[in-house]
């Protein structure tokens, strides 16, 4: 029996064809027609004027922050409930992350708490995360009039108030890491409407080389560009994005049906019509349910089915101990009671997951 993972890459003959064509074209470096086309296609999907293909989502966050002018002495608001890369990118620039707690219903950053923070502290930028593929509340966050960089690493294809993820704030970062909704094996993109910002990111991503015949540098640059080969893979994945989102959504609906009516069990972010359903998580109140999320996780693991607690909050991470944090306890509770379930579009035998869940619930 093969292990069922949370979110593994979903490849088809289309990817093979695009990749082989790119290889045969000779454009194997981080420059070429597939990279240009991939940037155009992603910008179109996100509803932005510009896109810059880079080597990872983390690199995209780093460049977007640098282009915004974030640096030493600055404070940037980061949700505490996120993957470490969000906070790390802030630290790379020399700025300080200020962690802010989340809403209990969907785990996204608590906009009213952000409002309280920006009234009391000098904040250079807000870096909201679109958690597990549900957009943060940009309607409330935009009203605060602090520059926003959107961490849309998990949210390509999602929408908020009818607008696509990636279109909020001054710029957004996408990730094409192997476990994301679509992948280039590794890769990312900065998307923005701001032409200067896009040009600055492109410049910094290519070692900040000045446009003269010899090697001339006025800035410390980075080697962050995306390979043309991987961009070809990305174009193939993008052509299948809607189909892959549909499969993830169907899986989420099936989880919703299975857990409906069970006391103390809910789906995190249930009812967001704009979610891309990257990862589905359940939240289990052990007093009401009579069982704990991690017990279901252990049971599924014995059936060779992967699950994972929701992100361990940044303020609990050893590396970020002692940093400033504005907390309500919501992220702590979600970490203690939440479980990400297998959500990938490449899962071919979901019946196995549901049989194992049935077995667990029948024994309770
Ligand atoms: C995956 C992820 C990243 C980092 O993307 P990489 O491509 O792996 O560098 C950043 N932020 C969030 C919220 C993520 O989930």
* Residue 1: per-residue pLDDT: 72
How many domains is the chain partitioned into structurally? 2
In degrees rounded to 5, what are phi and psi of residue 358? -55, -45
* 35 & 164 share domain: yes
Nearest CA to ligand 1 atom 2: 153
Among the three residues 189, 213, 239, which one is the final residue of a domain in this structure?
Answer: 239
Tell me how far the alpha carbon of residue 151 lies from the centroid of ligand 1, in angstroms: 8
Q: Are residues 288 and 316 in the same domain?
A: yes
Residue 333 and residue 210 share a domain: no
Identify the domain containing residue 177 by its residue range: 13-239
Q: Ligand 1 centre and the CA of 83: distance in Å?
A: 7
Contact 283, 256 (CB under 8 A): no
* Ligand 1 mutation target, pool 63, 86, 102, most atoms within 8 A of CB: 86
Asked if the structure places residue 8 within a domain, the reply is: no
324 and 359 inside one domain: yes
The SS3 call for residue 107 is coil
pLDDT value at residue 35: 98
What are the DSSP E strand ranges found in the chain? 50-54, 75-79, 96-100, 125-126, 149-151, 159-160, 163-164, 171-175, 188-192, 265-267, 280-284, 308-309, 325-326, 338-341
Q: 214 with 164, same domain? A: yes
Task: For residues 28 and 130, state if they share a domain.
Answer: yes
Confidence at residue 364, expressed as pLDDT on a 0 to 100 scale: 84
Sheet-wide strand order for 325-326: 125-126, 75-79, 96-100, 325-326
Q: Which residue is closest in CA terms to ligand 1's atom 5? A: 57
| CATH value at residue 280 | 3.90.1150.10
**Residue 225 included in any domain:** yes
Model pLDDT, residue 148: 98
Atom of ligand 1 nearest to the CA of 130: 13
Please say whether the dihedral angle defined by the alpha carbons of residues 74, 138, 165 and 242, taken in this order, is positive or negative: positive
73 belongs to a structural domain: yes
Domain presence at residue 160: yes
CB 19 within 8 A of CB 236: yes
- The best mutation among 54, 109, 155, 175 to test binding of ligand 1, ranked by most ligand atoms within 8 Å of the C-beta, falls on 175
Q: Is residue 1 part of a domain?
A: no
In a domain, 6, yes or no: no
Is residue 69 located within the same domain as residue 146? yes
Say if residues 323 and 97 touch (Cβ distance below 8 Å). Answer: yes
Which ligand 1 atom is nearest residue 131's CA?
Answer: 13
Are residues 299 and 273 part of one domain? yes
Q: Which atom of ligand 1 lies at the shortest distance from residue 129's CA?
A: 13
* Domain assignment present for 5: no
CB environment 100-117: b (16+ within 10 A), e (fewer): bbbbbebbbbbbebbeeb
Contacts of 119 by beta carbon, 8 Å cutoff, 6+ apart = none
| Distance separating alpha carbons of residues 78 and 90, to the nearest angstrom | 9
Going by alpha carbons, the residue nearest to atom 6 of ligand 1 is: 57
Residue nearest to atom 7 of ligand 1 (CA): 57
Distance (Å) from CA 24 to ligand 1 centroid: 31
Same domain, 35 and 123: yes
- Catalytic positions are 180
Residue that terminates a domain, selected from 212, 239, 266: 239
Q: How far is CA 106 from CA 14, 39, 182, 283, 290, in A?
A: 34, 30, 22, 10, 23
CA of 82 to the centre of ligand 1 (A): 9
Query: 239, 273, 300 — which closes off a domain?
Result: 239
- Please check whether residues 235 and 252 belong to one and the same domain: no
Let me know whether 235 and 259 are in one domain.
no
Which residue ranges have their beta carbon within 6 Å of ligand 1? 56-58, 82-83, 85-86, 129, 151, 153-154, 175, 177, 188
Q: What pLDDT does 71 receive?
A: 98
Asked if residue 163 and residue 152 are part of one domain, the reply reads yes
- Closest atom of ligand 1 to 60 CA is 9
Q: What is the CATH number of the domain that holds 95?
A: 3.40.640.10
Determine the distance separating the centroid of ligand 1 and the alpha carbon of 92, expressed in angstroms. Answer: 15
Between the CA of 86 and the centroid of ligand 1 the distance, in Å, is 7
List, in sequence order, every residue forming a beta bridge with 97; answer none if it has no partner: 76
Residue among 286, 287, 274, 277 at smallest CA distance from 341: 277
What atom in ligand 1 is closest to the CA of residue 56? 7
pLDDT in tens, the chain (364 residues): 799 999 999 999 999 999 999 999 999 988 999 999 999 999 999 999 999 999 999 999 999 999 999 999 999 999 999 999 999 999 999 999 999 999 999 999 999 999 999 999 999 999 999 999 999 999 999 999 999 999 999 999 999 999 999 999 999 999 999 999 999 999 999 999 999 999 999 999 999 999 999 999 999 999 999 999 999 999 999 999 999 999 999 999 999 999 999 999 999 999 899 999 999 999 999 999 999 999 999 999 999 999 999 999 999 999 999 999 999 999 999 999 999 999 999 999 999 999 999 999 999 8
> Which residue has 């609990």 as its token pair?
316
The DSSP code for 305 is: B
In a domain, 3, yes or no: no
Which stretches of 42-90 are assigned E, i.e. beta strand?
A: 50-54, 75-79
């Amino acid at each position: 029996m093969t292990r069922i993972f949370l979110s593994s890459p979903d490849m088809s003959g289309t990817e093979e064809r695009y990749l082989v064509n790119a290889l045969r074209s000779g454009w194997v470096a981080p420059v070429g027609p597939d990279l240009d086309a991939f940037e155009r296609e992603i910008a179109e999907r996100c509803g932005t004027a510009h896109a810059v293909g880079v080597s990872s989502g983390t690199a995209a966050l780093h460049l977007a922050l640098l282009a915004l002018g974030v640096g030493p002495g600055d404070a940037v608001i980061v949700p505490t409930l996120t993957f470490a890369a969000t906070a790390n990118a802030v630290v790379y620039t020399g700025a300080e992350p200020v962690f802010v707690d989340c809403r209990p219903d969907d785990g996204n950053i608590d906009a009213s708490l952000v409002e309280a923070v920006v009234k009391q502290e000098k904040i250079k930028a807000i870096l909201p995360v679109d958690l597990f593929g549900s957009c943060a509340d940009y309607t409330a966050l935009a009203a605060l009039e602090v520059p926003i960089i959107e961490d849309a690493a998990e949210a390509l294809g999602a929408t908020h108030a009818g607008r696509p993820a990636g279109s909020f704030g001054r710029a957004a970062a996408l990730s094409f890491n192997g476990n994301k909704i679509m992948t280039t094996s590794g890769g990312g993109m900065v998307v923005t409407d701001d032409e200067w910002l896009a040009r600055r990111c492109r410049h910094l991503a290519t070692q900040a080389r000045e446009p003269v015949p010899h090697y001339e540098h006025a800035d410390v640059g980075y080697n962050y560009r995306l390979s043309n080969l991987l961009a070809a893979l990305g174009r193939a994945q993008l052509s299948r994005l809607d189909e892959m989102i549909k499969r993830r959504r169907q899986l989420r609906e099936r989880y919703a049906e299975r857990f409906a009516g069970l006391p103390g069990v809910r789906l995190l972010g249930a009812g967001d019509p704009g979610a891309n359903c990257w990862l589905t998580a359940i939240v289990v109140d052990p007093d009401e349910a009579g069982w704990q999320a991690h017990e279901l996780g252990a049971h599924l693991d014995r059936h060779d089915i992967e699950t994972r607690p929701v992100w361990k909050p940044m303020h609990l991470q050893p590396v970020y101990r002692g940093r400033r944090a504005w907390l309500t306890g919501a992220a702590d509770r979600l970490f203690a009671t939440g479980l990400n379930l297998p959500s990938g579009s490449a899962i071919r035998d979901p019946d196995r997951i549901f049989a194992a869940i049935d077995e667990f619930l029948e024994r309770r």
